[in-house]
Amino acid sequence: MKRAAAGGTSLGVFALAMIEVTAVLGIRNFPVMAEEGWSMIFWYLFGLVAFFLPLSLVAGELATAWPQGGGIYAWVRQAFGEKGGFIAIWCEWIEDVVWFPVGLTFIAATFAYALSPALGADPRYVLVVCLVVLWAVTAVNLFGEKYSAPVSTWGGVIGVIVPAALMIVLLLASIVRGDPSAVPFAPSALLPDFDASTLPFAATVILVFCGVEMSGFHALETKDPARDFPRAITLAMVIVFVLTVLGTLAVMWVVPARQLGLATGVMQAIQAMLDEVGAGWLTAPFAVLMSAGLVAVFSTWFLGPGKALGVAAAQGDMSPVWRRRNRHGSPVGVLFIQAGLATALALLFVLVPSINAAYWILTAITTELIIVMYLFVFAAALKLRYAQPDAPRPYRVPGGKAGMWLVCGVAIAALVFSLAVGFLPPSVVGGMSPAAYVAVLVAATAGLSLGAPLVFWLRRKPGWVAPDAAAYLLGGEAGEPGAAPGDV
């Protein structure tokens, strides 16, 4: 089925592919995957085939069939009712909140290279920078999104694209010079060891590729979604795979795994490669520029999760404070709530013995929460093929119901596998006993993904429904989906 884009304009295959690439590509995950060594190529392929591709296909169908506001909330709500939709959108919001200190720590570790790299391992420095940036960003977002578009664009270029490009250029220069890799290559190293201490890193592949569903919202903007959308997905997969592999390789090429910091790994690699070409003096100014770009990106999407949760709050799932807005249209209630929660989580960097351990624990919890959310999405796609078979679908997952079962089955199996191995304690968390680590992750995942939203659900009152609740489901500012944590 063909459908012209609104307003007479349409996206080409390359434009749609780049939307998908920019929604997914982030440099923060390079050091995490570099811990896997050369087997990171295997895990990236696993993520692309078992998660990136299925999610792209399913999101294309769901977004073109139900293009109303709310995104994941609207899709799951169609399949499982209000309670299911609320749990899904809550998971999308809370995993972002848990991830906030991780993104802020990455910013703090990057800025440390403008002062003294050793500061990146100082919990007190990291905590102070996290809190200053967090509350400054909260204050700025109280004034709405009037200036966010240009800030987001330039922030993404300076904080993500330029560093990734620099790393890849310096990597290629190092290879041409014949410099040896810090992790020697061997064909056998391409296959993982499937060791209990390294498998948890594989679960973060889901975090690497999360956010790819955003491309589905643009499928209707193509001339022929059934033809153009799969082509755009294929092109995006190739670009993402090449860039993520090269970016991760740049980190592991110059920084031995035993010296790699999960938060500082990108700057460690950039400094080492700049030193190699005699331009080490560029490290400090580059760290300042990159930090500014990352703060800009963080600030822009800081507003997204709160706006997405407002769609459910307007339906009466949460008290009115969760949808309260000021005269600039900012969700002030959610902004202060999520800033307060992120502040409490940031204290982990003082309470936990090492930056790597705290960084990993929050990353692992974020990954488990986002897996729960995506399980809802794939289950919803399957159910809607049976519950609403005649709903217009400008783009359909190919192969009929069998094709949908294959796509969703592969993704659900990959998500369940990642959920399970994500509970295993990795080597970077040496200060906690395995039992304590598993207990913390299980309690956090169960409590935050299901326990918290069910408490809200049991306490809901008829008076919580917004007078204009229906407008939130029709799109526009109130119904826009939130941003994904892979953006930084």
Q: What are phi and psi of 399, to 5 degrees?
A: 95, 10
Distance CA(414)–CA(96), nearest Å, equals 21
Contacts for 461 with CB less than 8 Å, ≥ 6 apart: 316, 319
Residue 127, both tokens: 């905590």
The tens-digit pLDDT sequence of the chain (488 residues) is 334 344 445 777 887 787 777 777 777 778 878 878 888 899 999 999 999 899 989 988 998 888 766 678 888 999 999 999 999 989 989 998 998 998 899 999 999 999 999 998 888 999 999 999 999 989 888 877 665 555 665 666 777 778 888 888 888 888 888 888 888 888 888 888 777 767 777 788 887 888 777 766 666 677 777 778 888 888 888 888 888 899 889 888 888 777 777 778 888 888 888 888 888 898 999 899 888 888 887 876 677 777 778 888 888 899 999 888 888 778 888 999 999 999 999 888 777 777 778 888 888 999 999 999 999 999 999 999 999 998 888 889 999 999 999 999 999 999 999 999 888 887 767 667 888 888 989 999 999 999 999 999 999 998 898 887 777 666 543 334 444 454 45
Packed helices 355-387 and 400-421: angle between N→C axes, nearest 10 degrees: 160
pLDDT at 4: 39
CA–CA distances in Å: residue 410 to residues 55, 236, 405: 10, 20, 8
The hierarchical CATH code for the domain 13-487 is 1.20.1740.10
Q: What are phi and psi of 11, to 5 degrees?
A: -90, 140
**pTM for this one?**
0.86
Residue 4 Ramachandran class (φ > 0 left, ψ -120 to 50 alpha, else beta): beta
Distance CA(326)–CA(17), nearest Å, equals 36
pLDDT at 83: 93
pLDDT at 313: 87
Residue 450, both tokens: 């299901």
Q: Return the domain boundaries, the chain.
A: 13-487
Distance CA(218)–CA(10), nearest Å, equals 9
Residue 113, both tokens: 């290279």
With beta carbons less than 8 A apart as the criterion, state whether 381 and 409 touch.
no
- Angle among Cα 22, 28, 34 to the nearest 5 degrees reads 115
